[in-house]
């Protein structure tokens, strides 16, 4: 790599032990040289840093965190599970930092019109024939959803509702509990009147992603109402 003109004097080589620590015995360097390496690796984010590439023999210590390292390439198979996990989690975190940006405001660019939803096929499972929905059947992904749809049918203050099928294309991207970016499809869209529309999630069971989905939905609603 040092032979490439763009990387001349811009490659930082770090020798670590199995714990990810920079040690004298592994690197064959003096204490002063190691201290310079540690400082260089911790200051890699700074504009004054001359380094463009880092070569880590063995592994980088878990928790080593800089913003400007966005590509990690494994040069050999990783025998240690923790080493692989550290690299994967670090890479995932950096990609999310580049793609998930809170701009602090929302802009309405288009609307979803339920009547323009194209015909679609659903699973052969429990359903309800609604009176207040544009779709001819409410297919429940759970019994709780069917109970809720039945409840909405009987509510005098609800004028319209719809199950948020995949074909509706109403989804919110969010960061999952493991750091991945995924899509979240709320269960129902409910209209009380011309000024009150609710996005509702029904849950009989809860997993680690549920609070993250709900928080994302709250933020989305706040942004839309403020825009």
State residue 154 phi and psi, 5-degree precision.
-95, -5
Mean pLDDT per 10-residue interval, the chain, length 227 residues: 70 63 55 74 73 65 54 54 61 61 64 88 88 93 92 96 93 87 93 94 86 92 85
**Buried-state track 76-90, b at ≥16 Cβ within 10 A, e below 16:** eeeeeeebeebbeeb
| pLDDT at residue number 74 | 55
Structure letter (DSSP) for residue 124 = S
| pLDDT at residue number 101 | 59
| pLDDT at residue number 15 | 64
| CA proximity to 68, closest of 86, 89, 47, 38 | 47
- Predicted TM-score of the model (pTM): 0.56
| pLDDT at residue number 199 | 95
Dist. CA 66–CA 64, nearest whole Å: 7
DSSP symbols for 172-225: EEEE-TTS-EEEE--SEEEESSSS-EEEE---SS--TTHHHHHHHHHHHHHHHH
Dist. CA 61–CA 18, nearest whole Å: 9
Q: Give me the residue label for tokens 């690299």.
A: 87
Dist. CA 227–CA 214, nearest whole Å: 20
Dist. CA 184–CA 154, nearest whole Å: 28
């Amino acid at each position: 790599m040092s032979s490439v003109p763009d990387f001349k004097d811009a490659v930082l080589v770090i020798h670590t032990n199995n714990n990810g620590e920079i040690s004298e015995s592994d690197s064959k360097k003096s204490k002063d040289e190691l201290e310079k390496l540690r400082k260089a690796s911790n200051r890699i984010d700074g504009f004054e840093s001359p380094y463009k590439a880092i070569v880590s023999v063995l592994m980088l210590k878990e928790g080593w965190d800089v913003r400007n390292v966005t590509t990690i390439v494994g040069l050999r198979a990783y025998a240690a599970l923790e080493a692989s996990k550290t690299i994967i989690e670090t890479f995932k975190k950096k990609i999310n930092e580049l793609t998930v940006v809170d701009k602090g405001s929302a802009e309405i660019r288009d609307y979803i019109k339920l009547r323009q939803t194209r015909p679609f096929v659903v699973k052969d499972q429990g359903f309800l024939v609604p009176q207040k929905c544009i779709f001819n059947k409410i297919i429940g992904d759970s019994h709780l959803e069917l109970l809720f749809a039945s409840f909405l049918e009987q509510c005098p203050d609800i004028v319209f509702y719809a199950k948020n099928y995949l074909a509706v294309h109403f989804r919110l991207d969010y960061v999952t509990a493991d750091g991945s970016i995924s899509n979240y499809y709320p269960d129902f869209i409910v209209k009380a009147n011309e000024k009150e529309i609710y996005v509702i999630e029904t849950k009989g069971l809860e997993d680690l992603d549920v609070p993250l989905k709900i928080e994302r939905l709250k933020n989305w609603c706040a942004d839309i109402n403020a825009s």
